[in-house]
Structure 1
Amino acid sequence: MAKVPRPPRSKPLLTDEGGQLQSSRVRKRNPAQPALPFDPMPDRVGPALALLKQSPPAKGYSWEVKWDGYRVHVHVEASRIRVLTRGGYDWSHRFPSIVDAARELGPASMILDGEACVFDEQGRSDFNLLQSSLGAVGRRSGNLVSPATMMAFDLIYFDGHDLRGLEYLSRRHLLEDLLQGKESAIRLSEEIDADPVELLDHACSLGLEGIVGKKRDSVYRSGKTGDWIKCKCVQSEAFFIVGYEPSVGALGGFGSLLLAAYRGDHLTYVGSVGTGFKERASLVLRTTMDKLLWRRKQPPVPYSGKRKVVWIQPTLIAEIEYRAWTSDNKLRHASYKGLREVQDNAEVYRLDENEGVGTRSAR
């Protein structure tokens, strides 16, 4: 006996084989059922900053290499991609490789936090190389395009959700998933599972700038909160250039730069730097300084030295590497690394009014 065919469990798509396809009527959302929230993308987020420590704590932090470059936030939206400096300036036209890499990450909206770097032949981030392609030298030679790579170390907005209230480890896992297997101008800044004291020693032996630690359970907070800390192999800070010592035989026509830091609301002389200059950068720097000559009788900072000095307006900010401070608050073993740009919102060193040597403070 033949089986009777079972009727279909679902209704056929067409009630009339010759008719048009019809979908079921869209029902209105039940007001009692909450809609999934989406957070608007912030136009700008102040970066979380690392607090300087002399030695790393043993527990509670994740560690990675400290990169020597420009801090940037990459905002990826459907209609545009922005590369914002700490000062909030859009440098997307100066970092086209980073923009192209961000575009390849997909259609999702996001804000990546990281450092724009240029690497030397040994694979170390080099601020001088970055400056030669991007900074004062690059701007005046017409070369405004840098081949910089962004080392990404945080994800603070993703796919319609603000992640700043999420703990660091969770943000980190999302970032790793996003950049997994990507070989482009946006790379993951790898975490290193090692004893931080040994890690710092190893970083210094390789000629790196230092290491950065982040509290694993911390949310993303702008400014120096202590959630992020840094330990440096060599001290490097920003100072005003207030003059130069002319020299016929030296590169660029100057023997050294005179530097100043803040003490309260005033500037004070903190010594000079006469090493670290490259010929091309020196020539451009001398031309720039000669356009900023100080026209007043008294110098811009109190000075009791006997050297012949050409004083300039305190507007140029130099990144200076040094080993220590003298007892009278002068830099020891200083070396010039390059000019910082106003758009980078560089912090100028501030001397403690009571003890002398202090910490950096924003301009």
Structure 2
Amino acid sequence: MARASSKKPRNVAPIDPMPARVDPCLATLVDKPPIGPDWAYEVKWDGYRLALHIEPGRVRVLTRGGYDWTDRFPSIADDARRLAVKTAILDGEAVVLNDQGRSDFGMLQRVLGRLPSAVEAGAIVFYAFDLLYLDSHDLRRLPLRERRRLLEPLVAGREGAVRLSEEVQADGDEFFRVACAHGLEGIIAKHVEKPYRSGRGDWWQKITCKRRDSFVVVGFEPSTVAGHLGRLLLAARKDGELVYVGGCGTGWSNELSRELRKLLEGMATKGPAVALRRKGAVFVEPVLVAEVEYRAWTDDWKLRHASFKGIREREDDATVCALLCNGSQGAEER
């Protein structure tokens, strides 16, 4: 009689308690992709980092900071209940895809945020790229290649709200070049022999096509066109305080310009949250964070060629750009 094959993960303890929450592994920003057979590559998704906790009788969707946002991602939670698991923790990114099939952070923000959106919440897709726990087994001590071996049968080929983030075995430099040519944000490189480690390290690396960070909105300048936005005034953190780092005056449509101005006018204050005097500016409560692409910093720490990409609330666990004594360290992946 043939012996039944075991589906239990290899090299793990028989039973492990399920963590209530896992601090995510974060990628370190580098200039060039690492080279070698131990590295695999993925698209860098432009969305919200989430952990999907599946348990008997309930599903939780947790943000990077540990907030329970299950009610904000109902289609993801509903589709997760259809996975063939009893208990699991999936690490991934929630995104909205545009007409070109690229993840669009601005579209995602409009679905989740205060601004009107033509896209329904059901359009949000969770791309799973790691499996941390499966049916009473903690997988974090296993190498990435083994975790991916267990993840892929669960989500590969699915067309629902929970899908697989494909891993690419390719030349890193060429994959990065193609990703940038197709308008993607960048790529992620992961060492396939490393276990899952919370926090930032060089076992996960990100290579971005453009510089992009999150900045606190501290005010705006009205446009010469009535009812429109002229320029956002932005701040970053330095020694625990907010400091002005310049403005952003491009990246929005006429419709979004009006909507942003209306939103910010409802948050106006008498004085600025930073040391700044600017004639005609309207200062606001520092509760919103703008995602901004930019080319570089000036010598006096002002943004060069900044372009608006999206907006979120600081309570959404947005990591605000910090200015350091020896340079700039931006907000990492969401």
- The TM-score with structure 2 as length reference comes to 0.89
Amino acid at match of 1:269: Y
| Residue aligned with 2:150, SS | helix
> For residue 314 of structure 2, what is the aligned residue in structure 1?
342
Q: 2:55 aligns with which of 51, 62, 77?
A: 77
Asked if structure 2 preserves the Cα contact closer than 8 Å seen for 1:116 and 1:150, the reply is yes
RMSD: 2.2
Which whole-Å CA distance do the structure 1 matches of 2:330 and 2:71 have between them? 33
Residue number in structure 2 paired with 1:181: 157
Q: What is the CA distance between 1:146 and its match in structure 2?
A: 4.3
CA contact (8 A) 1:93 1:145 kept: no
Contact 1:46–1:86, Cα closer than 8 Å, also in 2: yes
Q: What do the CA deviations read for 1:250-287 (whole angstroms, capped 9, x no partner)?
A: 6x532000111111112211110011123444334323
Partners of 1:342 and 1:81 lie apart in 2 by 25
Is residue 238 of structure 2 the alignment partner of residue 263 of structure 1?
A: yes
Paired position in structure 2 for 1:247: 223
Q: Which residue of 2 aligns with 1:153?
A: 129
Query: Percent identity, aligned pairs only?
Result: 49
Report runs of 4+ in structure 1 exceeding 6 Å deviation. Answer: 141-144
Return the alpha-carbon distance in structure 1 between the equivalents of residues 332 and 34 of structure 2: 24
Could you tell me which residue of structure 2 aligns to residue 317 of structure 1?
Answer: 289
Q: Is 1:302 aligned to 2:275, yes or no? A: yes
Larger radius of gyration between Structure 1 and Structure 2 = 1
- Identify the residue that residue 3 of structure 2 maps to in structure 1: none
**2:187 is matched by which residue type in structure 1?**
I
Letter in 2 for 1:286: R
The separation in 1 between residues aligned to 2:315 and 2:275, in whole angstroms, is: 29
Counterpart residue type for residue 300 of structure 1:
A
- After TM superposition, the structure 1 = structure 2 runs for residues 193-204 of structure 1, keeping only pairs within 5 Å, are 193-204=169-180
Q: Does 1:121 align with 2:99?
A: yes
- Distance in 2 (CA, whole Å) between partners of 1:158 and 1:273 is 45
Q: Secondary structure at the match of 2:258?
A: helix
* 1:203-235 residue CA offsets vs partner (Å, 9 max, x unmatched): 000000000011111111112122211000011
Tell me if structure 2 keeps the 8 A contact 1:243–1:310: yes
Structure 1 residues 311, 181: CA separation in 2 closer, same or farther (over 3 Å shift)? Answer: closer
Residue correspondence of structure 1 range 48-63 to structure 2 within 5 A = 48-59=25-36, 60-63=38-41
Partner Cα separation in structure 1 for residue 41 and residue 26 of structure 2: 15
> Which of 159, 170, 174 lines up with 2:146 in the alignment?
170
CA distance in 2, matches of 1:326, 1:200: 27
How many angstroms apart in 2 are the aligned matches of 1:331 and 1:213? 28
Distance 1:202 1:80 in 2: 40
- Measured in 2, the distance between the counterparts of 1:191 and 1:56 equals 15
The size of the alignment, in residue pairs, is 320
Q: 1:219 to 1:77 in 2, by over 3 A?
A: same
Give unmatched runs, 5+ long, in structure 1: 1-35
The one-letter code of the counterpart of 2:31 is: Q
Q: Which moved more, 1:47-56 or 1:90-99?
A: 90-99
CA contact (8 A) 2:140 2:196 kept: yes
- Which amino acid in structure 2 is aligned with residue 122 of structure 1? Q
What SS does structure 2 have at the residue aligned with 1:44?
Answer: coil
Amino acid aligned to 1:301: V
Contact kept in structure 1, 2:157 and 2:163, CA below 8 Å? no
Residue 54 of structure 1, CA deviation:
1.2
- Where structure 2 has 5 or more consecutive residues not aligned to the other structure, the ranges are 1-12
> In structure 1, what is the Cα distance between the partners aligned to 2:199 and 2:85?
30
Equivalent residue, structure 1, for 2:166: 190
Deviation at 1:186, TM superposition (A): 1.2
C-alpha contact (below 8 Å) 1:130/1:146 kept by paired residues: no
Question: Taking structure 1 as reference, are residues 110 and 142 closer, same or farther at Cα in structure 2, changes over 3 Å only?
Answer: same
Matched, 1:286 2:261: yes
Q: Which moved more, 1:121-130 or 1:276-285?
A: 276-285
Does residue 272 (structure 1) correspond to residue 244 (structure 2)? The answer is no
Amino acid in the other structure paired with 1:259: L
Secondary structure of the 1:137 match is: coil
- Aligned match for 2:196, one of 220, 223, 230: 220
How far the C-alpha of 1:172 sits from its partner, in A, is 0.8
Q: Is the 8 A contact 1:39 1:162 kept in 2?
A: yes
Tell me which moved more, 205-214 or 43-52.
43-52
CA contact 1:134–1:146 (8 Å) conserved in 2: no
Partner of 2:280, secondary structure, is coil
Give the whole-Å Cα distance in 2 for the aligned partners of 1:44 and 1:61: 27
State the match for 1:326 in structure 2: 298
Pick closer, same or farther for the CA change 1:360–1:117 going to 2, 3 Å.
Answer: closer
Question: What SS does structure 1 have at the residue aligned with 2:218?
Answer: strand
